[in-house]
Structure 1
Amino acid sequence: MISNKLIDKELKRLLIENNNENKITCSKANEIAKLLSIPHKRVGDMINSMKIKITKCELGCF
């Protein structure tokens, strides 16, 4: 099993690689959650902590 620390490190790397001017699409965030097999909330929490904005929200929230 991969440690939470390693997952967080990979999550940060993917968010840095996939954001554009501190913005990331909802669908890209969902792809990252699926890729890492982690809950969407965990991705969202990391996005918030990194001050990245979600765009094109599929839920109409952002």
Structure 2
Amino acid sequence: MLPRPQNCSPPGVITVSGVAAAPSDIRQALSDKADAKGATAYRVIEARNDGNFHATAEIYK
């Protein structure tokens, strides 16, 4: 797990799921959600593939 970004406020959490795509598509979906919430950074804290990808990330502002 990557360290928490410095000088950022406490995290919120975002998730993406049901995405049947490449890992780069999952990363883009997380990035889009983080941007929509005004985050300056995100850190993936959980990811799995049980037929469809699911990922959870902490967001930082």
TM category (shorter chain) comes to 0.3 to 0.5
With CA pairs under 8 Å and 6+ residues apart, which has the higher RCO, 1 or 2? 2
Structure whose residues are more often strand by fraction: 2
Instruction: State TM-score, norm by structure 1.
Output: 0.35
Structure whose residues are more often helix by fraction: 1
